Amino acid sequence: MMNWLLAELRRIGNTTKWSWDGWRSAWVREKSLRQWALVNVLSAALAFSLELSPGERALILALGLLLLAAELANTAIEEVVDYISEEIDPRAKRAKDAGSAVVAVTAIAGGVAWLVILIG
């Protein structure tokens, strides 16, 4: 039992390290991640300064984090496509554009949530 627990703790430690490495790498290279992080900070500040229900606040915060996750996934897609080939290929463009669309749809979802909360 103790060996299993130690192995799991090591696995969690490795996963945490790799995730942090991925975040740092994207932060340094991707201006859009830094921009969305700033939008998230402003959105969170507004969510805590307005009289929102806990559910509304949770939705805004969760969608903000989901937007950052979408941007990280988009970054991963772009990195892999660029690694595989530097040639112009319509499939590579479609993959990159689809990754960008994921970010856009997620951002729209956050905007819709804000709109519904503020209007409703």
Domain annotation covers residue 76: yes
Q: Is residue 61 part of a domain?
A: yes
Asked if residues 70 and 102 have their Cβ atoms less than 8 Å apart, the reply is: yes
pLDDT at 1: 87
Q: Which residues does 43 contact at the CB level (< 8 Å), separation at least 6?
A: 60, 64, 110, 114
pLDDT tens sequence across 64-100: 999 999 999 999 999 999 999 888 999 999 999 999 9
What are 17-47's pLDDT values in tens digits? 999 999 999 999 999 999 999 999 999 999 9
Q: Is 102 within a domain? A: yes
pLDDT of residue 120: 82
Q: Is residue 68 part of a domain?
A: yes
For residue 75, is it left (φ>0), alpha (ψ between -120 and 50) or beta?
alpha
Domain of 68, in residue numbers: 31-119
How many independent structural domains does the chain possess?
A: 1
- The answer to the question of residue 81 being in a domain is yes
Which residues are tagged catalytic?
71
What CATH number is attached to the domain comprising 38? 1.10.287.3610
Residue 86 belongs to some domain of the structure? yes
